[in-house]
């Protein structure tokens, strides 16, 4: 029973979700602070000092008997509701902007990876070109021609091996 719970609790997705919830909660606090401490005072200044949190509709005033409250007042606090709606829209807007920026960055990385990726066709074409070059070259009769062939071979081999490494890495990390 404990092993099953341990497998469930420590899966990568569960941990990622927990981290996301904690970061989201912190993000919510920051945005709420921006709204309540920066935007709402400015909004209050524009609306001649009206604080949204104090807006309310009293349905029934409190009934007092001396200093004792017999029946508390019945109030609809629509100002708090308006404050929460504004908070929601600002949080949604900021999340939209952040996710749009992240998507734009990830698209740039994907495009760069696709441009840099070496495919099997590229690798096979390189090998074919090298083989054709070897077949079309005349047999070496002098020492100078042997030297030039030996000088060309390492560069070609290095090129093939680099392409092969890129191909292996590309296959390893490719998501279909």
Read off the CATH number of the domain in which 101 is found: 1.10.1200
What's the rounded mean pLDDT across residues 16-34? 83
Q: 86 with 34: CB under 8 angstroms?
A: no
Kindly state whether residue 33 falls inside one of the protein's structural domains. Answer: yes
Number of domains in the chain: 2
pLDDT beyond 60 at 130: yes
Is 44 found in the same domain as 22? yes
Confidence label for 176 from pLDDT (cuts 50, 70 and 90):
very low
Which of the listed ranges 47-51, 59-63, 141-145, 166-170 does the model predict with the highest average pLDDT? 59-63
Report the 10 Å Cβ neighbour count for 52.
Answer: 19
Q: Is residue 65 part of a domain?
A: no
Structure-block tokens of residue 149: 């062939």
User: Domain span at residue 108?
Assistant: 1-54+86-116
Question: Structure pTM?
Answer: 0.45
Pair (45, 130) in one structural domain: no
Q: Is the residue at 129 inside a domain?
A: yes
CA separation for the pair 9, 7 (Å, rounded): 6
Assigned domain for 68 exists: no
Confidence of residue 113 (pLDDT cuts 50, 70, 90): low
Confidence of residue 74 (pLDDT cuts 50, 70, 90): very high
By three-state DSSP, how is residue 95 classified?
A: helix
Task: Please identify, among 64, 94, 116, the residue that sits at the C-terminal boundary of a domain.
Answer: 116
Residues 5 and 38 in one domain: yes
Provide the strand spans (E) within 95-154. Answer: none
Q: Is the domain of 133 the same as that of 102?
A: no
pLDDT reading at 151 higher than 60: no
Where do the DSSP E strands lie in the chain? 57-60, 63-65, 68-71, 74-76
> Is the predicted pLDDT of residue 91 greater than 70, yes or no?
yes
162 and 101 inside one domain: no
- Note whether residue 78 is domain-resident: no
* Chain Cα centroid distance, residue 116: 22
Do 12 and 64 contact (CB within 8 A), yes or no?
no
Task: Point out the least confidently predicted range of 45-54, 93-102, 138-147.
Answer: 138-147
| pLDDT (mean) for 2-22 | 77
Q: Is residue 96 part of a domain?
A: yes
Residue 105 shares a structural domain with residue 171: no
What average pLDDT does the structure give for the chain?
Answer: 75
């Amino acid at each position: 029973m404990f092993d099953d719970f341990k497998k469930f609790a420590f899966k990568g997705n569960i941990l990622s979700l927990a981290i996301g919830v904690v970061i989201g909660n912190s993000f919510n606090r920051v945005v709420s602070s921006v709204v309540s401490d920066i935007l709402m005072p400015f909004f209050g200044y524009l609306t001649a000092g009206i604080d949204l949190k104090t807006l309310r509709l009293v349905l029934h005033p409190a009934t007092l008997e001396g200093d004792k409250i017999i029946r508390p007042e019945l109030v609809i606090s629509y100002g708090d509701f308006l404050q929460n709606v504004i908070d929601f829209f600002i949080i949604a807007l900021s999340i939209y902007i952040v996710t749009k920026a992240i998507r734009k960055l990830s698209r740039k990385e994907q495009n760069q990876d696709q441009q840099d990726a070496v495919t099997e066709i590229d690798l096979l074409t390189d090998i074919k070109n090298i083989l054709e070059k070897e077949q079309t070259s005349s047999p070496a009769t002098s020492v100078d021609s042997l030297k030039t062939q030996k000088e060309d071979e390492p560069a070609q081999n290095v090129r093939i091996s680099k392409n092969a490494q890129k191909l292996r890495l590309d296959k390893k990390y490719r998501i279909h």
